[in-house]
Structure 1
């Protein structure tokens, strides 16, 4: 019992710099802002603030497939804004979003991006985008309300997803 509690405590402490207090970049001027899904109001607001601060004049917004509910482009008013390009990544994963940015950047000549996600996802997003996008990347974490149970879930989910990211390539067959 003591060993289990000690293991849980060590896991919690080890996760603090990764999931609770990650390094947040100070975004400089970038070719594009990419908002990772789901496109919550907190993340969209952060992107709008970056637009107002003239960090970029273009936002690439991850959305769900048409008819998929509140995260689909037809449900998000910002998708009608010329500064926002709403795209469904394939697959709907962080690596899928990074590949989506890579393809968009190739077509638009972009060499830098500010990635907007929520705090527990910052370090994994930084790792994935540094492997999957050749340009400069700054990652901004947005605080979103999480319950204690949400934090436990995020610790487990992000840890497992980080392990997967470390062990799988960014590219897919045919790229």
Structure 2
């Protein structure tokens, strides 16, 4: 009887490191699989377009890149997705006073809502091609959603913004869950 108890204890003690090793291996595989999606997405060729579209939130880095693209003559007009209220709303952004820039709030305030807002804007302004600016971890999901929900030609570019290791963990988890949601939910209807 005593040898049976010792055998069970030894077996249980061996299964803990095996489970820990399996968990670590799973985390490493998840991190490696996410590298081409979230850390190093393929870089889109930024050609001339009808519109530059900054999707939310409109951070200073995204706005600066949009302004640079307009100065370089990539497009004459810009659309900026802003929060309906509070921080980063149109009232908070001086760029929204620029005549070449339209600041609007998508409904819903999601990537699919932003695709729907672009669809409505494109119909109204005869936009056929758009440069979409987001941040690097969001590029792959943005490309997927815009390919699914927007009929025009889109080039998605990511701006590197400083992310701490904990931010990268959050982005891996958030973007992965949001990717699954994007696959199984329909596009938002264009408003306007």
Does 1:30 find its partner at 2:49? yes
Does 1:39 find its partner at 2:51? no
Task: Select which of 93, 108, 127 maps to 2:110.
Answer: 93
Task: Select which of 55, 64, 70 maps to 1:51.
Answer: 70
Closer/same/farther in 2, CA of residues 137 and 158 from structure 1, 3 Å limit: same
Written as runs of structure 1 = structure 2, the 5 A alignment for 1:71-110 is: 71-110=88-127
Corresponding residue for residue 125 of structure 1: 142
Please report how far the alpha carbon of residue 173 of structure 1 lies from its aligned counterpart in structure 2 after TM superposition: 10
SS across alignment from 2:157? strand
SS across alignment from 1:38? coil
The count of residues paired between Structure 1 and Structure 2 equals 173
Task: Tell me how far apart the structure 2 counterparts of residues 118 and 105 of structure 1 sit (CA, whole Å).
Answer: 22
Higher helix share: 2
Larger Rg: 2
TM-score, scaled relative to structure 2: 0.87
1:55-98 Cα shifts (integer Å, max 9, x gaps): 101110011123x12x0111111001111100000001000000
Does 1:163 find its partner at 2:180? yes
Gaps of 5+ in 1: none
TM-score, scaled relative to structure 1: 0.95
Corresponding residue for residue 3 of structure 1: 22
Please report how far the alpha carbon of residue 53 of structure 1 lies from its aligned counterpart in structure 2 after TM superposition: 1.2
Task: Tell me how far apart the structure 1 counterparts of residues 43 and 95 of structure 2 sit (CA, whole Å).
Answer: 25
Corresponding residue for residue 5 of structure 2: none
SS across alignment from 1:164? helix
Task: Select which of 38, 51, 63 maps to 1:19.
Answer: 38
CA RMSD of aligned residues (A): 1.5
Gaps of 5+ in 2: 1-19
